[in-house]
Amino acid sequence: MEVRTLEQLQMQNATSKAKKDASSLDQNDFMKLMLQQLKSQDPFKPTDNTEFISQMAQLTSVSGISEMNENLSALTGSLYSAQLLDSSSLIGKDVLVESGVAALPSGGSVRGQVELPTSTTALDIEILAPSGEVIGKVPMGPQAAGTSRFEWNGIGLNGERMPPGNYQIRANYLNGNKVEALTTEMRSAVISVSVPAGGGSPQVQIQGLGTVSLSQIKEIS
């Protein structure tokens, strides 16, 4: 085990302190050192122009980085406020998002749409209980290719109104002799919005459908 004398320990502490102090130099310290260097230089052996220009470039770099950090910090704060303000205008509005959940409100209906890649002779929208049992159905019949909008009034296959809550929703269409599935896009109201503290897309809380990124919203009405 190496044993160090008191003098060696003092020198080590002094060196560490010097390194720490040097790493925390700011623009004013840099300028003072340069001026002191000019005062102390030998008039018969002045500082080389190339070296002096290099030191000036370092000073400019330190100043520029410090200013850039301040500007970026101000810009980040500004963007955060702007995003929050813009997103807050969505509260209370209906938005369309991709979802396999139908949020049935009390006394209301469920609205959504699908995108058909081709025309079909039969398009069916099915509403399922958490167990997977089909409890409701919206037969759409023949549909042309493109957007097909649908609405479920909350009435189940038994003729009674289903209690409010979230249900699974499934869309199928007849493509020739094959039944194929479609992705459903559901419409519901925005409850609240938030912007992540670390930046990124605003988060939108949608009634019955959970939280999605603002970039996932396909339509606002």
pLDDT tens per residue, range 166-183: 999 999 999 999 999 999
Assess if residue 41 is contained within a domain: no
Assess if residue 183 is contained within a domain: yes
The helix-helix angle for 27-40 and 49-88 (nearest 10°) equals 170
pLDDT of residue 187: 94
pLDDT of residue 19: 47
Q: What is the mean pLDDT of the chain?
A: 78
Domain membership of residue 182 as a residue range: 94-220
Assess if residue 83 is contained within a domain: no
pLDDT of residue 203: 87
At 47, which helix (H) or strand (E)? none
- The pTM (predicted TM-score) of the whole model is 0.62
Assess if residue 80 is contained within a domain: no
pLDDT of residue 22: 46
Neighbours of 53 (CB within 10 A): 10
Percent of the chain with pLDDT over 90: 44
Assess if residue 24 is contained within a domain: no
Q: Cα separation of 116 and 173, whole Å? A: 8
Neighbours of 95 (CB within 10 A): 22
Assess if residue 126 is contained within a domain: yes
Assess if residue 4 is contained within a domain: no
pLDDT of residue 221: 85
The CATH number linked to 156 is 2.60.40.4070
Quickly tell me which residue has 């009674």 as its tokens.
Answer: 160
Burial of 15 (0-12, 13-18, 19+ CB in 10 A): exposed
Whether the per-residue pLDDT at 3 is higher than 50: the answer is no
pLDDT of residue 196: 74
Assess if residue 98 is contained within a domain: yes
Neighbours of 31 (CB within 10 A): 13
Looking at per-residue pLDDT, the higher value among 160 and 130 belongs to 160
58 - beta bridge partners? Answer: none
The structural domain count of the chain equals 1
